[in-house]
């Protein structure tokens, strides 16, 4: 048993497996002291930046450990290795002892999030959002068309401010003048001494692509994270009190990767860069929470991307249900019933199937007597069934892939 106040050292011989994807609930992650470790995944969802061969100072297993899920990767010792093992509950201790490592972890996570966000939009929508401030004009135009003038006005304002030489400046100013009487906008920017911020429902906290100087901790209310891709609003997350957002700009010195909109009247605590650096050493619990949230997001987005790689649409539906069960930490071993908080329509959206194809697949899903609809919500009479079906389709996929590769080799 580990002493809770001491991080322990472990050694692995060349060739041995340190963690195995999907196999165990992750409780420990590792920091390499000596040697090399290779990371691999069953479904290589996207080519990882920086390669898969890790060296001293690198870490692995953090996402699954800090989000309390099963491992999403396999790690094998390429040489004899010496590792520092960190239990989930020791993370605060790690921050106190070694703040730079904790910073490195969250910085790398932030980069990974951005990379995965982009990969998912590329795969599902065959597009990436605009990257420069001129995209702010598109954001504004989208919300103006939806008659969401608070949001539109805010985005026009940011466009004019950040793209003063932009080609649509005159148009933006004209639109602003026109919608001003209908727009409620809260201008609270970094530099304000008071760090408590209040936003009425349906106002913009910040817009995608504007520069960012603060991150926020939700005290009250709810916040929607969304971005405009192909002239459509893509919902990334709905956040609740205790959640943190806006950290990516701060950690990477980049513009906002998505917009944050008050979904209800909301009160936020703003943390600027200087205060954030102080917090790393003075408030390890806040950094622990941030790491957990980032881990959850990364875990979820990995699973979503892996889902898009499945070819059988019915298999994708079962896999999506399984992801939701795991996300809600439902014990998969039990034969309890479970009601999801969404219906068939949302499930089709969730996996991004076109409507006509989606309806046919949904019909096939309900041919399974253990899957029903109750009050327009999907209900399974036995959670094990979801895992069983998802596992079956995954196995078929593997066989099919092997067959294809085999026939490629022989042809
Ligand atoms: P930042 O880029 O500063 O501004 C937008 C914020 O949205 C970002 O930081 C994250 O905090 C948050 N965010 C981005 N992508 C996601 C996602 N896929 N799920 C949840 N939150 C996200």
First to last CA, the chain: 55
Which CATH number, 1.10.3720.10, 3.40.50.2300, 3.10.20.30, 1.10.10.10, labels domain 311-410?
A: 1.10.10.10
Question: Residues 6 or more apart from 127 whose CB is under 8 A from it?
Answer: 121, 229, 230
pLDDT of res. 265: 97
Describe the strand order of the beta sheet including 223-229 as a list of residue ranges: 204-206, 259-262, 223-229, 232-239
Any ligand 1 atom below 6 A from CB of 258:
yes
Divide the 411 residues of the chain into consecutive groups of 10 and give the mean pLDDT of each group: 72 96 84 95 66 90 92 94 94 87 89 87 74 86 95 95 92 94 76 82 95 94 92 87 93 93 96 86 87 93 88 94 91 88 88 83 95 95 94 90 76 53
Instruction: Classify domain 8-97 by CATH number.
Output: 2.60.120.10
Ligand 1 in reach of 257 Cβ (< 6 A): yes
- Give start-end residues of each CATH 1.10.10.10 domain in the chain: 311-410
What is residue 63's three-state secondary structure? helix
CATH 2.60.120.10-classified regions of the chain: 8-97, 127-283
What is the model's pLDDT at position 181?
87
What pLDDT does residue 1 have? 47
155 in Cβ contact with 140 (< 8 Å):
yes
pLDDT of residue 315: 95
| Nearest CA-CA partner of 268 in 208, 205, 314, 207 | 205
The reported pLDDT for the residue numbered 184 is 85
- Which distant-in-sequence residues (6+ apart) come within 8 Å of 389 by Cβ? 318, 368
pTM: 0.85
Q: Does residue 297's CB lie within 6 angstroms of at least one atom of ligand 1?
A: yes
pLDDT of residue 75: 95
The residue whose C-alpha atom lies closest to atom 12 belonging to ligand 1 is: 245
CA–centroid distance, residue 20 to ligand 1 (Å): 29
Cα distance between residue 21 and residue 123, in whole Å: 23
User: Looking at residue 324, what is its pLDDT?
Assistant: 92
Q: Copy the structure tokens of residue 216.
A: 């926020």
Spell out the CATH class of 127-283.
mainly beta
Q: 3-state DSSP call for residue 327?
A: helix
The pick from 251, 257, 292 for probing ligand 1's pocket by mutation, whose C-beta has the most ligand atoms within 8 angstroms, reads 257
């Amino acid at each position: 048993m580990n002493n809770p106040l001491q991080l322990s050292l472990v050694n692995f011989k060349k060739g041995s497996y340190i963690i195995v994807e999907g196999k165990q609930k992750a409780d420990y992650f590792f920091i390499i002291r000596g040697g090399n470790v290779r990371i691999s995944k069953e479904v290589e969802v996207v080519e990882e930046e920086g390669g898969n061969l890790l060296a001293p100072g690198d870490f692995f297993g953090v996402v699954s450990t800090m989000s309390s899920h099963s491992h999403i990767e396999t790690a094998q010792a390429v040489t004899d290795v010496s590792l520092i093992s960190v239990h989930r509950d020791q993370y605060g201790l790690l921050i106190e002892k070694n703040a730079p490592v904790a910073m490195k972890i969250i910085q790398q996570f932030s980069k990974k999030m951005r990379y995965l966000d982009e990969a998912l939009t590329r795969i599902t929508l065959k597009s990436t959002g605009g990257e420069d401030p001129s995209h702010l004009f598109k954001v504004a135009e989208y919300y103006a068309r939806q008659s969401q003038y608070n949001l539109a006005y805010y985005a026009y304002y940011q466009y004019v401010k950040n793209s003063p030489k932009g080609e649509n400046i005159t148009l933006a100013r004209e639109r602003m003048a026109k919608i001003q009487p209908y727009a409620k906008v809260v201008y609270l920017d970094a530099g304000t001494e008071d760090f408590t911020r209040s936003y009425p429902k349906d106002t913009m906290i910040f817009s995608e692509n504007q520069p960012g100087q603060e991150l926020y901790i939700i005290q009250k209310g709810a916040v929607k994270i969304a971005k405009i891709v192909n002239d459509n609003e893509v919902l990334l997350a709905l956040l609740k009190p205790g959640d943190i957002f806006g950290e990516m700009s701060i950690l990477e010195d980049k513009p906002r990767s998505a917009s944050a909109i008050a979904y209800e009247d909301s009160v936020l605590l703003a943390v600027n860069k200087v205060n954030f650096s102080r917090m790393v050493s003075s408030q390890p619990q806040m950094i622990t929470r941030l790491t957990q949230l980032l881990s959850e997001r990364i875990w979820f987005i990995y699973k979503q991307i892996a889902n898009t790689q499945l070819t059988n649409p019915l298999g994708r539906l079962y896999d999506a249900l399984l992801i939701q069960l795991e996300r809600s930490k439902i014990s998969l071993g039990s034969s309890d019933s479970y009601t999801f908080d969404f219906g068939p329509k949302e499930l089709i959206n969730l996996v991004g199937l076109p409507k006509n194809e989606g309806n046919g697949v949904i019909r096939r899903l309900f041919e399974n007597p253990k899957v029903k609809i109750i009050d327009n919500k999907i209900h399974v009479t036995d959670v094990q069934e979801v895992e069983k079906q998802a596992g079956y389709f995954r196995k078929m996929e593997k066989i099919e892939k092997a067959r294809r590769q085999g026939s490629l080799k022989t042809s």
